[in-house]
Chains A and B, each alone.
Chain A
Amino acid sequence: MNINENAPTLNGLLGRSGGGAEVEAGPVTPAIEVSHLSKDFGARSAVSDVSFSIARGEVFGLLGPNGAGKSTIVRILGTLIAPTSGSATVAGIPLTGENGVEIRRRISIMPESPGLYLRLSVIENLECFADLYEVPDPGDRIDRVLRAVNLADRAKDACGVLSKGLRQRVALARALLSQPDVLFLDEPTAGLDPVAIRDVHELIGALGRGGVTIFLTTHRLDEAERLCTRVAILNRSLRTVGRPEDLREQLFAKTLVARTRIPLATPDTVFAGLPAVSSWRQDHPATYVLAVSESAIAAPAVTRALVAAGADVLSVSESPHSLEDVYLELINHDQEASVR
């Protein structure tokens, strides 16, 4: 699937509110607002006291280990199961039993398992769902979504003969049929090969840029970092929510890593009193990790100090923390707490 080739068809796939991201816009009604949501299955708590808000047009990622409650939240917001307590609005509509049909008209869910009728062809699957969503002019719409996921030439094949990656594309096409305001994608790239993953990422990116609110659950932290405006980390309760870069800053002190050709004779003397450097430690024989308050001030000062000390400087760089570091820090903290 080459999304660039399909760019014209994507224009017609956007949600009813489509036409540009509104993440930075003023006080608009959030696409999703969740307040103190909890769900118990008998004595087992699946989700506990979760609150967050998602702006229209935002690509929001929900991360968490297996059993963290990600799919449960998707099912609650998709009106498939009822919360034990708490409240939510989805696509601007309060989440109640009476509003279930109206909410489901405005959203679309792509579950982790494609859930296709394997004895039916691709087009028969899509025809069924086009009627369930009461899509006007279903033939044209099916044609567009099939072209968008590059499956037009497989339209008459039975879904049972398609590979896992192709079935995932059919499920994505099905989710796009109704031009949803909010698109829930539950592990959309699970089990796909790298090329198919790239294609799905490009499609999600294009939909997000077009103004569709996307709620993405994933195990893939690189996927969340690449696609999502904000992410939430869930481990039954919400551990944190924010932009990936903000989360990194919140959890980890800024550091600079200075590497020299040979170890410094008196590193204490070199790094003492430098502006914006609070402390330092030696990581390897010729590698020094410096805790800094402001990289832009500290980096030139550190470089000058190293040169003045006659060191051969190989590099001075910021130590990057990935979203994975944030995730592991929080989840490991939870695991340690549960052991205690």
Chain B
Amino acid sequence: MTVNTRRVGAIVRKELREYRRNGSLVIGAMAVLPLLFVVPPLIDVFALPASSASELRHGEPLLYMLGIPAIVPAAIAAYSIVGERQQGTLEPVLATPIRREEFLLAKALAAIIPSLAVAYAVYALVLACIGLFADPAVASALVRGPEILAQLVFTPLLAAWSIWIGTAISARSSDVRVAQQLGMLANLPSVAITTLIAYDVIHATFGLVLGLAVALLALNGFGWRLTSALFDSERLIAGAR
């Protein structure tokens, strides 16, 4: 299948314009949700004394922030199809020459762009706070090269998985809020795993990290197929079961 970049671009641009003007989505998904994952690292920054640095080295507390790419994209993607359906725009779009795969790819791209921007921006902000306000010993315990690399690599992988789950749920839901809640709920296992690693309940080894990365890549391939299979335009337009 060839992907028509003009058609994909049309949907991506339209989505980004809508995000900018959709206050509840911007405030809810892109501003409030990330705060939940910023507070614990910032407590470490401001509250922990230098003596706790050695304890911090046993875990990877900043990986807790991978919850942002695991949750935020699902909230955005969950809106993507059921939102169009509710405002009656899905039928006119699907009546154009766009293919189902192009439509879903465009939706995913449009969701991943703000998600990555928010995830990386918040991470950069926390790193800046650590650099400026944390005790130097705490800072060096928190900010480590492999951890930064893991953050950079796993952010898009988790975001993509989160988007496929959110989009798949959106394709089968009839209510935006239910879709968003289910989307976030379905991504809680990802948050649980990253949190357990962050607090050293699951010890991060090179093998584990590599395995998780490969598993996420495979899951993303599966997610794309799952979402395509669940996207039933007839059901979405005619409301058929």
Interface residues, chain A, with chain B CB atoms under 8 Å away: 41-42, 72, 75, 78, 80-82, 101-102, 104-105, 107-109, 111, 113-120, 124, 127-129, 131-134, 171, 174
Contact = CB atoms under 8 A, between A and B. Distances in A.
A105 B97 contact: yes
B238 A75 contact: yes
Contact of A118 (B87, B92, B234): B87
Interface in B1-55: 4, 6-7, 9-11, 13-14, 17-18, 21-22
B238 A134 contact: no
15 contacts: A42-B240, A80-B91, A80-B94, A81-B234, A109-B91, A115-B91, A116-B89, A118-B87, A119-B22, A120-B21, A131-B9, A132-B96, A132-B98, A134-B7, A174-B92
A124 B14 CA distance: 8
Nearest to B98: A132
Residue from A72, A117, A133, A134 having most chain B Cβ neighbours under 10 A: A117
B89 A134 contact: no
B238 A128 contact: no
B240 A120 contact: no
B88 interface: yes
A143 to B, nearest CB: 18
Interface of B is mostly: helix
A198 B204 CA distance: 71
Contacts of B90: 115
A80 B17 contact: no
B110 to A, nearest CB: 12
Given A80-B233, A80-B234, A81-B238, A117 B97 contact: no
A275 to B, nearest CB: 57
B94 A131 contact: no
A241 B107 CA distance: 43
Nearest to A120: B17
Contacts of A171: 92
Contact of A115 (B9, B89, B98): B89
Contact of B21 (A78, A105, A119): A119
Given A116-B89, A117-B89, A120-B18, A80 B237 contact: yes
Contact of A104 (B6, B88, B89, B96): B96
A333 to B, nearest CB: 28
